[in-house]
Amino acid sequence: MKQAIFRAWVLLLGTVLVMLSCKKDNVSTTTSATASLPDVFKQFNTSVTISVEGNYVVLKSNGIPDHKSPYFASGNAQYEAYNGSNPNFSKNPNSIQTQNFVFKIPLNPAVASSHSSTPLGPMGISINGVPLYNQYAAGNTPLTNEINSFDQYNGHPQNSGQYHYHVEPLYITNTKGRNALIGFLLDGYPVYGPLENGSLITNAQLDIYHGHTAATADYPNGIYHYHITADAPYINGNGFYGTPGSVTQ
């Protein structure tokens, strides 16, 4: 009889020990949580699908601007004849086509030890999902001639119908303000309009990558950021400040 009671006690003790060790296992396997999307990305249009994947923010866009353009087909509701201020405007032969962009940019951008140059084609994404291009035309030639094909919002499509901005996207700065967040480059650092604390930023105030570190409305503790300026190189200078992610199209 005594032996039976002893066995029952051993069994009960064993069960409790197993339960305790299982509990411990559960705790140790639930520590890796998915990082949440920083609030700053809420400034993107809802046409851009945004998620966090590991150490990257993934932004998917069809590249269609949220404003009108003479580069839509004349039957399209977004068609608008040129009504900008450039007397030498000359429409290029391309028209805006739906794209399939996937931008992967670092969630926590960091300065790179060697600064890679920006590519021709998309080097970043603006808050309306339109890609940002650098200061060069095909063959790394200056934009001199291309500028005359920029529409009234400062964009134009290239030969596969990819609409893009090389300079200040006027629809964004007209609607959000010239100090607004414009978007992000592939290295995860933000791009702002030409105005800061009420005055226009000049190239002389920026480093060779076309940015500086200061507080912004979205990053009150300060962050490296690029500025769009009126003069070349407009958005980026001598390459990425940080390590770029990737873009597929």
Which of the ranges 28-36, 73-81, 113-121, 194-202 carries the binding residues for Zn ion, by CB under 5 A? 194-202
DSSP 35: P
Q: What is the total count of residues that contact Zn ion (CB under 5 A)?
A: 2
Q: Where are the beta strands (DSSP E) in the chain?
A: 49-53, 56-61, 101-106, 124-126, 131-132, 136-137, 141-142, 155-157, 163-165, 181-185, 190-192, 195-196, 199-200, 211-214, 223-227, 246-248
**Closest distance between Zn ion and the C-beta of residue 102, in Å?**
21
56/164 with CB nearer Zn ion? 164
Which of the ranges 97-105, 112-120, 167-175, 214-222 carries the binding residues for Zn ion, by CB under 5 A? 214-222
151/196 with CB nearer Zn ion? 196
112/223 with CB nearer Zn ion? 223
**Closest distance between Zn ion and the C-beta of residue 201, in Å?**
6
**Closest distance between Zn ion and the C-beta of residue 60, in Å?**
22
**Closest distance between Zn ion and the C-beta of residue 213, in Å?**
8
**Closest distance between Zn ion and the C-beta of residue 231, in Å?**
16
**Closest distance between Zn ion and the C-beta of residue 122, in Å?**
11
Euclidean distance between the first and the last CA atom of the chain, given in angstroms as a whole number: 78
19/138 with CB nearer Zn ion? 138
Whole-number Å distance between alpha carbons of 36 and 30 = 16
Backbone angles phi, psi at 2, to 5 degrees: -55, -40
56/192 with CB nearer Zn ion? 192
Work out the number of other CB atoms within 10 angstroms of the CB of residue 171.
Answer: 21
Amino acid at 123: M
103/165 with CB nearer Zn ion? 165
Checking 29-32 for CB contacts under 8 A at 24+ apart, the result is none
One residue of 214, 218, 232, 243 binding Zn ion per CB under 5 A? 214
196 sits near Zn ion (criterion: CB under 5 A): yes
Site for Zn ion in 151-190 (CB under 5 A): none
DSSP codes joined into one string, 79-98: B----SS-TT----S-----
Where does this chain bind Zn ion (CB under 5 A)? 196, 214
